[in-house]
Structure 1
């Protein structure tokens, strides 16, 4: 008999977590499970991945775009004490609305065997839901994400309400066990699944590119791909390192693919370091693989990560990956520096020195690429989805 499964997550916007969600939905065996998808935010035109939801999966939104916009309005003005008060009121109201709508949907669906909270967004009200077993996915380093001790402890209390906690790498599992000893025996490591066949199909596809972008592909360039967010992504380190490197190679460019809240800040950093002709912000692309495939190598300079999806994607395309050794994910993906080059988080001088050594052939990128080629398939969706199905079946 099929199990009735609910998978909930925050949004269908363009993002790494959202891509993983779609990969799970498309790959999981529909003959074994009746799946319903529940998404918090209806973002209208920004529901980028809505069309990728399999047709046989019914889905619901918990919050209207109107409510989201209203909360965002007060968030942007919350330096004013009145607006801050209104923002807090609307945040609490959103939680109330989500819980209310979730209960309504659960009543419509009937018996639910397992609820998968894919981004821990339901943790505030999970104990109020009448469902069978509860699984929560953790996609980021909790100490780096929550920062304050009180918030870390509060989140731990919420995690205790779940039957199983999924960490997306071994380093994250160890971190969770150390922070939350009460969860011992309830934490499982399951890597994010990757559709390597899809990457192969898209790596030479230029349909999304205009004539200007097609010309840019012909340049000699290094690439970075991430959300433009300086809280998590350390673009200052990347820019400073690349400026030093440019003194040794004046022709190579740095392309940055992505969009996000810190775009203007990053543009200003590029101008401050007089690198406008060397570092180009190209914007967001649904197919980043054409850019990856034509690059020399890939750089990732995060302060912290959940996993680092793009590191695996770059490595699969036989690109040398250079990454900060930030928690959590990159060190494990690159096998402690065996299958890619790691540098100390925030150390722009070390990163610049790595780039210069590569230029001088003192570091041989093919050695790292060949090592990764031997282990890349540990992230293949066909292996990972079996782990997910086993967890849901045996809980």
Structure 2
């Protein structure tokens, strides 16, 4: 008999967590589960992953786009006391609305499939009210280093109390699991580990698909370049180190340009860092794309400079495409993916001089670069979806 499985997450907008959500939904065994998907934000045209949700999965949106836009309008103007009051009022209204709407949707799912066996909170967004939801088993997935994300001790403690409401807590790598066990020893028996699943065929197929590129971008693709793929966010992604490291490599005689694929709130700030370092024509911001893989495939190597990570999806994706990889040793994920330096080069967070040295070596020494290309591709096999989904099934059914 099939289990009644409900998966809840925040959005279907462009993002790493959303991509992993889709991979999970596409690879869950439909013979084992009746699957329903609850998404908190209906983002209208920004629901870029909606058409990738497999057929047969019912999708329920909670907050309408109009409510989201209204709250956003006041949030952007919070310095004004009126807008601050309106924002706080709307946030309170949203919270109550989401709880009642979720309960309503769960009742609808129960009518269709019967009692809910498993409720998966895939982005921990239901943690403040999950005890009000009816399901035999409740599981939460954690995608980030909790201390790096929350920082304040009071928030970390409060988060642990929320996690206690779940029957199982899933960390997406061993380092994260160990970190959580140290912070929350009372949850040790509930904490599980499951890597993110990757669809190799999709990534490899997209790596040769240039249909989304403009003529100008097709021209850029033919140039010699290295690549970074990440959100343009200076809080988490260390662009200062990335750009300074590339500058050192260029001073050492490296000719390859640096392409940065992605978009985000700090684009202007990053542009200023590029200009400050005199690299306006050597560091190119490609912008947002639904297909970063063609850019990865045609690059000389992949570089990652985050201050912290949840896992480092793009590192595995670069490995699948056989790229030599250089990454910061940020918590949590990259060091584990790269086997503490066995499958790729690692430098300390913020050490742009070391990054410059590693870039120089890999770009000037073809034999060394090719060695890392081979071992990276071999390592990527540990993250193939069919293998990882066995871990998911074990957690859901335990």
TM-score bucket of the superposed structures, by smaller chain: over 0.9
- Return 104-113 or 361-370, whichever deviates more: 361-370
Mapped to 1, the partners of 2:145 and 2:367 lie a distance apart of 31
Q: For 2:366 and 2:313, how far apart are their aligned partners in 1?
A: 28
Structure 2 Cα separation of the partners of residues 48 and 249 of structure 1: 41
Alignment correspondent of 1:6: 6
Gaps of 5+ in 1: none
Name 1:211's counterpart in structure 2.
215
Are 2:377 and 1:373 equivalent residues in the alignment?
yes
Aligned with residue 272 of structure 1, among 246, 259, 276: 276
Indicate yes or no: 2:326 matched with 1:322. Answer: yes
Moved more, 102-111 or 70-79: 70-79
1:82 positional shift: 3.7
Give the length in aligned residue pairs.
394
Q: CA deviation at 1:92?
A: 2.2
Q: Does the residue aligned with 1:145 lie in a helix, a strand or coil?
A: helix
Q: Does 1:331 align with 2:321?
A: no
Distance 2:132 2:83 in 1: 30
1:37 paired residue number: 37
CA displacement, residues 318-363 of structure 1 (integer Å, 9 cap, x when unaligned): 1011000000000000000000001000111111121223344398
CA distance in 2, matches of 1:173, 1:9: 21
- In 2, Cα distance between the equivalents of 1:227 and 1:393? 35
Secondary structure of the 2:189 match is coil
Q: 1:298 aligns with which of 285, 293, 302?
A: 302
Residues 1-395 of structure 1 correspond to what in structure 2 (within 5 A)? 1-110=1-110, 111-249=115-253, 251-361=255-365, 364-394=368-398
Give 1:84 deviation, angstroms.
Answer: 2.8
Give 1:196 shift. 0.4
CA offsets, 1:347-391, max 9 Å, x none?
111111212233443981222222233332110000111111122
> Unaligned regions of 5+ residues in structure 2, if any?
none
User: C-alpha separation between the residues in 2 aligned to 1:179 and 1:106?
Assistant: 32
CA contact (8 A) 2:323 2:376 kept: no
- Secondary structure at 2:391 match in 1: helix
Separation of aligned partners in 2, 1:157 and 1:309? 28
Q: Does the residue aligned with 2:253 lie in a helix, a strand or coil?
A: coil
TM-score, structure 2 as length reference: 0.96
- 8 Å contact 2:242–2:352 — kept in the other structure? yes
Other structure's SS at 2:332 match: coil
Q: Distance in 1 between matches of 2:83 and 2:152?
A: 24
Conservation of the 8 A alpha-carbon contact between 2:363 and 2:369: no
TM-score by length of 1: 0.97
Quote how far apart the aligned CAs of 1:143 are: 0.4
Q: Larger deviation: 213-222 or 70-79?
A: 70-79
CA distance in 2, matches of 1:363, 1:263: 35
CA contact (8 A) 2:323 2:372 kept: no
Distance in 2, Cα, partners of 1:73 & 1:266: 25
Structure 2 counterpart SS, 1:256: strand
